[in-house]
C-alpha cells in the first residue's frame, strides 16, 4: 500500500512509518514538526519508499500520486503539549481530521483515526469497553484533547455513514517506548528522566490511581492490523495489565538502580482514577493482543533514554570544548 500518515514524525507515527516500510509499503509522512522530531525519522528517511512533507494538516493536506490508506495521528498528545496549544489541538481533531478524511475520500482510500482512551474521561465503568460513552468534563483542563478526539470520532463516523468512506477508529490507551520526548509530561517518560537524572520521582495524588501501559511495538502492530481490515471500530488498543502509578514508580526506581525519593504532589483536576482497556474486540476482529509485558518494555525504554542522555551529554561537552578552543 501507499499510506499517508499525518503526525508521522511523532512518537507513535514514526514507529508506524518504520513498521509499514519494513513490510514493504510506501509511506508519505506529513508533519508540521510542532511536537514531532525529524530525528524520529532517521531510519525511515533511508528508505526510498519514504517521503516527508512538512505541512500543517489543519490548513491543507494535498498528496500527489496514489493513496491507498490515510492514518490520522496528527495532534498534540501529551498534557503539556495540548495545554500549551489548546486551539491547535482542537483544530487537529476538527479541520485536520476533515482534511485527512477528504483526502481518503478523494482516493477511495482506507481511513484510520487514532483516537484515545481519553474519550472515556474519568470512567464510571471498569474496564472500559467500546460501547461505554464515557464521562468527560467538556470544559475542564483536559477538554481540548478529549473533545477534539470525540469530535473526530463523530466526524469519521459521519463520513462513513453519509459518504461511504472506508473508515476505522482505534482508541489508544497509555503507550510508552523509545522516542518519547524527555519533556512530554507523560508518566513513564517523567519517571525515567527524573530517575536517571538523580531527581525525586514525582507522583501526583496518592499513587493508587491505575493505568495500563502498552509498549509501542505492540501498539503499532494494532494500528497496522486496523489499516489492513475493513473494521469500522471503535476498537480499543492497549495492554489490559493494570498497575498503580506507585507501582510504576517503584519499578522505574528499581530498574534504573537509583535511590531517588518519591515526591508526592497534588492530583491534577479530572485525572481519571482508573484506566484499563477491554480488548476482546481487538482480539476478535484484528487478531491482536499485546505481547510485551511492562518490565520488558520498561527495560527497552530505559536503555533508550540512558543512551540518549549520554549522547546529549557528549554533544554538550563537544560544544563546550569548541567554545573554549574558539
From 82, 145, 176, 215, active-site residue:
145
User: Nine-digit cell at 275?
Assistant: 484506566
All residues at 6 or more sequence positions from 116 whose CB lies less than 8 Å from its CB, including other chains:
77, 145, 146, 149, 171, 172
User: Nine-digit cell at 31?
Assistant: 508533519
**Smallest Cα–Cα separation from 13: which of 159, 306, 191, 227?**
227
How do the residues of the chain divide into helix, strand and coil, expressed in percent and rounded to 5? 45, 20, 35
Q: Which residues of 34-61 are buried (b: 16+ CB within 10 A; e: fewer)?
A: bbbeeebbeebeeeeebbbbebbbbeeb
| Secondary structure of residue 38 in the 3-state scheme | helix
Residue positions counted in the chain: 326
Cα separation, 102 vs 159, in Å, equals 9
All residues at 6 or more sequence positions from 90 whose CB lies less than 8 Å from its CB, including other chains:
144, 147, 148
User: Nine-digit cell at 74?
Assistant: 496528527
In DSSP notation, 261-308 reads PEEEEPPPTT--S---B--HHHHHHH-------HHHHHHHHHHHHHHH
Cα separation, 216 vs 298, in Å, equals 11
| Secondary structure of residue 215 in the 3-state scheme | strand
Neighbours of 296 (CB within 10 A): 11
Whether 145 is catalytic is yes
> Which positions are catalytic?
145
Amino acid at each position: 500500500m501507499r499510506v499517508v500518515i499525518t503526525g508521522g514524525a511523532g512518537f507513535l507515527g514514526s514507529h508506524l512509518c518504520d513498521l509499514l516500510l519494513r513490510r514493504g509499503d510506501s509511506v508519505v509522512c506529513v508533519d508540521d514538526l510542532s511536537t514531532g522530531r525529524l530525528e524520529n525519522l532517521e531510519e525511515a528517511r533511508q528508505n526510498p519508499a519514504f517521503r516527508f512533507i512538512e505541512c500543517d494538516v489543519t490548513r491543507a493536506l494535498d498528496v500527489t500520486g496514489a493513496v491507498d490508506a490515510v492514518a490520522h495521528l496528527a495532534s498534540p498528545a501529551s498534557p503539556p503539549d495540548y495545554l500549551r496549544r489548546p486551539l491547535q489541538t482542537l483544530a487537529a481533531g476538527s479541520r485536520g481530521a476533515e482534511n485527512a478524511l477528504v483526502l481518503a475520500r478523494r482516493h477511495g482510500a482506507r481511513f484510520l483515526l487514532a483516537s484515545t482512551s481519553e474519550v472515556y474521561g474519568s470512567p464510571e465503568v471498569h474496564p472500559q469497553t467500546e460501547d461505554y460513552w464515557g464521562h468527560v468534563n467538556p470544559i475542564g483542563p483536559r477538554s481540548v484533547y478529549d473533545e477534539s478526539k470525540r469530535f473526530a470520532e463523530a466526524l469519521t463516523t459521519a463520513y462513513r455513514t453519509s459518504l461511504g468512506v472506508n473508515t476505522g477508529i482505534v482508541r489508544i490507551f497509555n503507550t510508552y517506548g523509545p522516542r518519547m520526548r524527555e519533556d512530554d509530561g507523560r508518566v513513564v517518560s517523567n519517571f525515567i528522566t527524573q530517575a536517571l537524572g538523580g531527581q525525586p520521582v514525582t507522583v501526583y495524588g496518592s499513587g493508587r490511581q491505575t493505568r495500563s501501559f502498552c509498549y509501542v511495538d505492540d501498539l503499532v502492530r494494532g494500528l497496522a492490523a486496523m489499516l489492513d481490515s475493513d473494521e469500522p471500530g471503535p476498537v480499543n488498543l492497549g495492554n489490559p495489565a493494570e498497575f498503580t502509578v506507585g507501582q510504576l514508580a517503584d519499578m522505574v526506581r528499581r530498574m534504573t538502580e537509583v535511590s531517588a525519593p518519591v515526591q508526592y504532589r497534588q492530583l491534577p483536576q479530572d485525572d481519571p482514577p482508573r484506566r484499563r482497556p477491554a480488548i476482546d474486540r481487538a482480539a476478535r476482529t484484528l487478531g491482536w493482543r499485546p505481547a510485551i509485558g511492562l518490565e520488558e518494555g520498561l527495560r527497552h525504554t530505559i536503555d533508550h533514554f540512558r543512551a540518549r542522555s549520554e549522547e546529549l551529554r557528549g554533544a554538550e561537552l563537544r560544544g563546550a570544548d569548541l567554545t573554549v578552543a574558539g
